[in-house]
Amino acid sequence: MPERPPPLRIGLSARIFHPEPGATGIKTKTLLVLEQSVAQWAMTRDLLLLMVPTVVRDGELMRSNIRLRDYAKYLDGLILQGGADISPRIYGEEPLKPEWEGDSVRDAYEIELVHEFMEAGKPILGICRGMQLLNVALGGSLYQDLPTQRPDAAHHESGHYDRNSHPVRFVQGGVMADWFAQSNTGKVVSIHHQAVNRLGRGMRVEAVSAEDEVIEAISWEGNSFVCGVQWHPEFHTQLPVGEGLLDCSPLLENFLEAARQKA
């Protein structure tokens, strides 16, 4: 029998939970978290998923000689998962409210990851916050809060969390319009109050909200796969059939095909 090819090695950026003032036990520690749904979505294909750790600045742990650049050389691709807001200070603004200050430690860690993977020519897929991070890493900016700064916007998050959805429309001529040619439109799970404002260098719009034109997907025009979606494809397969949610298999397949070409 022919030898089975080795599985792809895909990195997943970590969510960071910082020590809580006045806490006891595990909450006094810095926690790096891999969100199960996005991991399981990626692992529906033949791959090994590895969380890429970081060291909190001024923390107790010391860096070894291993750098994020070494992960970019070893791994075949990178997924940036969702989570906390991005700090407006990263794109030259002050937070309009204290609760929108974001996580500058995670921002710096993931921006370094993005630049290292791009320099290595390895594919990157950003999900929700991950898409916003890609845009900011390339010099773009965000709306800090859609209800405040875009009062015409539809509801992009609600108390229903992963049950909140809205339709998207793919931009003709974009790569995603080709990937999703069988559907062209569909509903997506939406859990965000920030959104892309000014596009980063070399970024193009791939999809928008059909209800208010808020940017919902972007890609890089450079020579490697760098793509982000504002929605959560990992939740689409977990919700009841019949809700009209977009089949996001083409997104995962094209990302992994790009990774195979670099493996």
CB-based contacts of 53, cutoff 8 Å, min separation 6:
14, 32
CB-based contacts of 85, cutoff 8 Å, min separation 6:
100, 101, 102, 103, 129, 144, 194
Catalytic residue among 110, 216, 234, 248: 234
CB-based contacts of 215, cutoff 8 Å, min separation 6:
195, 196, 199, 205, 207, 208, 230
- The number of CA neighbours under 13 Å toward the Cβ of 100 is 18
Residue 144: count other Cβ atoms within 10 Å of its Cβ.
24
Question: Is residue 234 flagged as an active site residue?
Answer: yes
Catalytic residue among 110, 116, 128, 216: 128
Q: Give, for 147, the enclosing helix (H) or strand (E).
A: helix 146-149
Place of tokens 């407006």: 88
User: By three-state DSSP, how is residue 171 classified?
Assistant: coil
Catalytic residue among 166, 192, 232, 236: 232
Question: Is residue 232 flagged as an active site residue?
Answer: yes
Place of tokens 């900011």: 136
User: By three-state DSSP, how is residue 134 classified?
Assistant: helix
* Residues recognised as catalytic: 128, 232, 234
